[in-house]
Amino acid sequence: MKQKFLALLVLICCSAAVMGQTTISAEEWTAANDAYQKQDWKTAAAVYEKIAKAEDRNPQAKYRLGIALLNLGKASEAQAPLEGALSISPNSVFAFALARAYARSGNAEKLYPLFDRSMVLGGISASTISGEKDFDAIRKDAKFVEYVKKLDGVANPCRARPEYRQFDFWVGEWAPQNPQGLTVGTSSIQLILNDCVIFENWNTPQGGGRSFSLWDVRDGKWHQTWVDGRGGITRYVGGIEGDKMVLVAETVSPTGQKGRMRMTYSRLADGSVRQHGESSSDNGKTWTTAYEFKYVKAK
């Protein structure tokens, strides 16, 4: 093992020499990382500048040098290493850091083209931009406000498209009741994963289950996957019909009989939600009620 490690080390050193790079010792890397974590920006800038010069194609060293310089109030000096990092490894993190440097130095001529590029790289969330003081001077500018909206729409597509919000009426903490008005269990319906997914946590004295629902931009339909504590799994597909969410699944019984299940969710005037489950054994020609619940707000 030791021989293999030494051989690998020699190979790395030789590769660095071929690329015209000076080898940076492990101690220097440790010193740079420690200074960065401790926010000792003067030390971090000095060490990362040495690393960036020795390893000209190292985007992380250039990025951290740029951040250190930004924190030392040297926005103009930070631009070159951050531009270098972004050119080597295009991503939204590096783009945001460079945007900070442009904004702080009042370089709007480069700021907005960078924002255009950032949309291709994955966008920047509005919360990230709003939490950064470097943009205070232009925060109220109409052009900046519009860009923030667009960048956030790319970074958080599920919050920007209305289709993702069609099923939000089901979100909440519920005490589902049967048609006789008896509470049959609890159901916690939450928005998760940047508001892209509706997560259902259903529990009753007899058992429980979980489901994940989301709108898929590829086919323009809603998909729900249900799993339970008995090893069951059902996949529903559907969408909004009028003011109701209708989801249908193809099913197979333990004996191999094929059928369909349909769930219809309706928002009621009192703020509760009706879930009507139906089954069909004739390919959807006729339907029979399998269950019916009224989701009442939990107290």
Q: What is the CATH number for 220?
A: 2.40.128
- DSSP 8-state code for residue 138: G
| Domain co-membership, 136 together with 77 | yes
For residues 129 and 254, membership in a common domain is answered with no
On whether both 251 and 142 belong to a single domain, the answer is no
How many whole angstroms separate alpha carbon 199 and alpha carbon 172? 10
Residues 128 and 248 in one domain: no
More confident position, 244 or 257? 244
CATH number at residue 78: 1.25.40.10
Which pLDDT tens digit goes with each residue over 105-119?
A: 999 899 999 999 999
For residues 199 and 70, membership in a common domain is answered with no
Model confidence band, residue 10 (pLDDT cutoffs 50, 70, 90):
very low
**E strand or H helix at 268:** none
Taking alpha carbons only, the member of 261, 279, 265, 280 closest to residue 200 is 265
Same domain, 46 and 144: yes
What tokens does 239 get? 């969408």
Q: Residue 271 is part of which domain span?
A: 163-297
Q: Which residues contact 205 (CB under 8 A, 6 or more apart)?
A: 185
Are both 153 and 170 inside the same structural domain? no
On whether both 8 and 148 belong to a single domain, the answer is yes
- 3-class DSSP assignment, residue 249: strand
Per-residue burial over 125-149, b if 16 or more Cβ lie within 10 Å, else e, is bbebbeebebbeeeeeeeebeebbe
- Domain boundary residue, one of 160, 175, 194: 160
Q: Which residues of 196-228 are buried (b: 16+ CB within 10 A; e: fewer)?
A: ebbbbebeeeeeebebbbbbeeeeeebbbebee
Half-sphere exposure of 171 (CA within 13 A, CB side): 16
Q: Which of 103, 129, 160 is the last residue of a domain?
A: 160
Give yes or no: residues 156 and 167 share one domain: no
- Please report which residue ranges of 19-91 form alpha helices under DSSP H: 26-37, 41-54, 59-71, 75-88
Q: So what's the pLDDT on residue 22?
A: 53
Computed over every residue of the chain, the mean pLDDT equals 91
Report the alpha-carbon distance of residue 73 to residue 101 in Å, rounded. 10
Residues 166, 205: Cα–Cα separation, whole Å = 31
Between CA 116 and CA 119 the distance in angstroms is: 5
Tell which residue, 74, 97, 102, 71, has the closest CA to residue 86: 97
Q: Do the Cβ atoms of 137 and 189 come closer than 8 Å?
A: no
Same domain, 182 and 286: yes
Sign of the Cα torsion 116, 122, 123, 124 reads: negative
Terminal-residue alpha carbon distance, the chain: 62
Q: What is the pLDDT of residue 20?
A: 40
Within 10 Å of residue 20's Cβ, how many Cβ atoms?
Answer: 8
**Position 6 confidence tier, pLDDT thresholds 50, 70, 90:** very low
Q: What is the per-residue pLDDT across 138-150, written as a single tens digit (0 to 9) for each?
A: 999 999 999 999 9
The pLDDT tens digits for 209-244 are: 999 999 999 999 999 999 999 888 999 999 999 999
* Residues pairing with 225 in the sheet: 212, 235
* Furthest-apart CA atoms within the chain: distance in Å: 80
Total domain count for the chain?
2
Of 129, 160, 191, the residue at which a domain comes to its end is 160
